[in-house]
Amino acid sequence: MSDGRLTVLPDSRLDSVREILSTRMEEAAQAVADGAFDECFNITMKAALKDGLAQASAHEGTVWLLDPTGSFLIPRFNNGPDAENFVGAFHQSVQAGMIGMVVSTEQPICENEVHKNARQDRTLDEKLGVTTCSMLAVPFYFAGKLRGVISAVQLKRADATTDPAGFSPENLRTLQHTADVIERLVEHELLSFSLGFGTGAL
C-alpha cells in the first residue's frame, strides 16, 4: 500500500545513455544561449514570466543569456515597449553593471535608487532614453550551469516627474520563484528536444 510518498529509483537500463543525454543537453543549452532562445522560450514560459514580473511590481523584465565566450550578457527576451531596439543586439559586459555583478557573485540583488549607484552601467538607459530607478536581478540556471540573469526594473521616462515606489524583499522573492519556474520549464523543453519529443530542432 502506498504511503503517499513518491519514490522513483534510478533505472539501470538508462546507465548507458546518461552520458549521451548529458552531452546532448549541454549542446542544446549552448544553442539556446547562442541565439535559439526563441525556439525554446514558448508561450507558456512567456506567460509565466510576465505574470511573475507583474506580481513583483516591475514595469518590465529581461532574460539575459551569456554569450558562448562568457564575456557578455545578451538580452534574449524583454516584455517592454522598447524590446525591438535592444533584444538580441545589445551586449552587456559581465565586468560591468548590476547584472554583471549577479553573474560574478551568483547572488540576487534588490537595488532601489539604481541611478544613484556608481556600479550601474548607464549605456542601455542612454540608448533607450529611460532611467532605471530600481532593479531586481537573479541568477538564471539551466542544464546544470549558470546561463544568465533575469532582471526586473522600474523605469522613469523623460516626461515623468516622480520616481516609482521601488522594490521590496517580497518582490525579490517573487522574481526568484518565477525564475525557478522558468528554469524548470526550459530544462523540460531541452530534455524534450534532446529525446526527440520536441517540435523543433535546436
Q: What sign for the dihedral angle of Cα 175, 55, 188, 70?
A: negative
Confidence of residue 75 (pLDDT cuts 50, 70, 90): very high
Confidence of residue 1 (pLDDT cuts 50, 70, 90): very low
Phi, then psi, of 92 in degrees rounded to 5: -105, 120
Coil vs helix vs strand at 157: strand
Rounded to whole angstroms, the Cα distance separating 185 from 201 reads 17
The DSSP symbol for 85 reads G
C-alpha cell at 17: 545513455
CA angle 146, 152, 156 (to 5 degrees): 145
The DSSP symbol for 32 reads I
How many Cα atoms occupy the beta-carbon half-sphere of 25 within 13 Å? 17
C-alpha cell at 99: 547584472
Domain definitions of the chain by residue range: 29-193
Residue with cell 510576465: 50
Mean pLDDT of the chain: 90
Confidence of residue 17 (pLDDT cuts 50, 70, 90): confident
Confidence of residue 20 (pLDDT cuts 50, 70, 90): confident
C-alpha cell at 130: 529611460
> 22-65: per-residue pLDDT in tens?
888 889 888 888 878 988 899 999 999 999 999 999 999 999 99
| Largest distance between two CA atoms of the chain | 66
> The pTM is what?
0.89
Please tell me the CATH code under which domain 29-193 is placed: 3.30.450.40
Cβ neighbours for 45, distance < 8 A, ≥ 6 positions apart = 182, 185, 186, 189
Helices within 63-168 (DSSP H only): 97-105, 123-128
Closest CA relative to residue 25, chosen from 182, 192, 198: 192
Closest CA relative to residue 82, chosen from 114, 127, 39, 122: 127
